[in-house]
Amino acid sequence: MQAQPLLTIAIPTYSRASYLKETLDQLRLEILSHHLDDIEIIVSDNASPDNTHRVVSDASKPEFEICYLKNLNNIGSDANIARCFNEAKGHYVLILGDDDLFYDGSLKWLMTVIRQQEYGVICMRPYGFDADFRREYPGRFGRDEVFDDVGQFLTAIGPLVTLISGCVINKNCLPNLDANEFCGRNLVQVHLVMEAALNLKKNLYSSRYHIACKRNNSGGYDYVQVFVEHLGAILDAYRVRGLSRQTILGFDKRMLLGHLPFYLLKQRLSNAGDQNANMTKLKLRYASSWTFWIFLMPIISMPRFIAIFWGGASTIVGRIRYGDSLRGFYFLINKIRNLR
């Protein structure tokens, strides 16, 4: 390995040893089967009480070395993500979720891309899986698109800006940056993506499915607060760095139609969440948008049966509008398979 590896894959983890084992096993398979080198692997253990240390120790081999970091105390997910970025030595850094997996061949694709061209951010499209990430793979449809305009790039990737496993960040274009300064809103990764995308201005989005994400495997936070209030405030703060109002409006529309209906639908299906609180937070951000009043407001305010119907219809419209209908189709097919 060179003094500076081309890519660091850093995995923040806390007490999910079984998921981490699957992630490391697939990562090792990708690296060894494609003879990939120049990759640094880091696991940052946030003081896990389970057998995370044993999983890392068993996985680490001479041909698959893992740098294992263990915090003395649980410092929170934000700070652990920040530590992953700060400790990484790679030219590029991918902070990979401990339950997320590279689909077969996708790491080889990534290494080829970053050897050929310099980008600020490379965004890889994810898909969700329940049990078998290979069986539930939607297929290699999509394309790689290079953006010279940061606003167009951010509008294209939309909510993927929040997914740590989907965004590869050029650390070399962020000299002396301390990721700890972005802690506190559960969105450290958004700042890192924004900084790199704005600094280099040439970014790539691959709309093919590369990263398998375990479904329904995270939470413990107020979804609307994080992905509406906090994310919106971060985007607004980058106006002074040249992010246009038009870009922010385009991003908001993407969230309104392509992302939020599904999560509000899930809340109504499970009778979870405070709909009055959701309405207040969403109005503060989106009250001037007709998309909000047509597609989201009925999910929040209508009787449950009508709200569920409206939420389903809005989700379908959003998936079709933003080219994600195939993933929804495979989701239904796999649900049917799992019922057998």
Sole residue written with tokens 């790539």: 204
In this structure, which amino acid lies at residue 324? D
Residues 6+ apart with CB under 8 A from 202: 117, 118, 119, 120, 146, 147, 148
pLDDT in tens, 270-320: 887 788 888 999 999 999 999 999 999 999 999 999 999 999 999 999 988
DSSP category for residue 227:
I
Domain ranges of the chain: 7-218, 241-339
Contact 154, 252 (CB under 8 A): no
DSSP category for residue 120:
S
Q: State the pLDDT at residue 199.
A: 94
Tell which residue, 91, 119, 97, has the closest CA to residue 2: 91
7-218 classified as CATH 3.30.420.40: no
Residues 6+ apart with CB under 8 A from 313: none
Q: State the pLDDT at residue 324.
A: 74
- pLDDT band for position 1 (50/70/90)? very low
pLDDT in tens, 210-252: 999 998 777 667 889 999 999 999 999 999 998 999 999 999 9
